[in-house]
Amino acid sequence: MTITTCVFDAYGTLFDVAAAARQAASEPGHEKLRDSWPALAAHWRAKQLQYTWLRAITEAHTDFWEVTQNGLDWALDAEGLAGDPALRERLLALYWELSAYPEVPAVLAALRAHGLNTAILSNGSPDMLDGALQSAGLSDLLDAVLSVESVGIFKPDARVYDLVGTHFDCTKDEVLFVSSNGWDAAGAAGYGFTTAWVNRAGEPMDRLPWTPHHILTDLRGIPALAEG
For the stretch 147-174, pLDDT in tens is: 999 999 999 999 999 999 999 999 999 9
Q: What's the average model confidence in pLDDT over 210-221?
A: 97
pLDDT at 228: 73
Within 62-113, residue ranges assigned H as helices are 64-78, 85-95, 104-113
Q: Which residues contact 47 (CB under 8 A, 6 or more apart)?
A: 70, 71, 74, 75
**How large is the C-alpha radius of gyration of the chain?**
17
- Across the chain, what does the average pLDDT equal? 96
CA–CA gap between residue 59 and residue 154 (Å, rounded): 10
pLDDT at 210: 97
Q: What's the average model confidence in pLDDT over 16-33?
A: 94
The reply to whether 207 and 108 lie within a common domain is yes
Strands 144-147, 117-122: pairing is parallel
Question: pTM of the prediction?
Answer: 0.96
Q: For position 30, which CATH number holds?
A: 1.10.150.240
The reply to whether 184 and 117 lie within a common domain is yes
Domain containing 198 equals: 5-15+99-227
* Catalytic residue positions, numbered: 9
The reply to whether 80 and 181 lie within a common domain is no
CA–CA gap between residue 95 and residue 77 (Å, rounded): 18
The reply to whether 206 and 105 lie within a common domain is yes
pLDDT at 179 over 80: yes
Q: How many domains does the chain have?
A: 2
pLDDT at 227 over 90: no
The reply to whether 44 and 105 lie within a common domain is no
The reply to whether 38 and 57 lie within a common domain is yes
The reply to whether 113 and 89 lie within a common domain is no
pLDDT at 121: 98
The reply to whether 31 and 109 lie within a common domain is no
Secondary structure tally for the chain: helices H, strands E: 9, 6
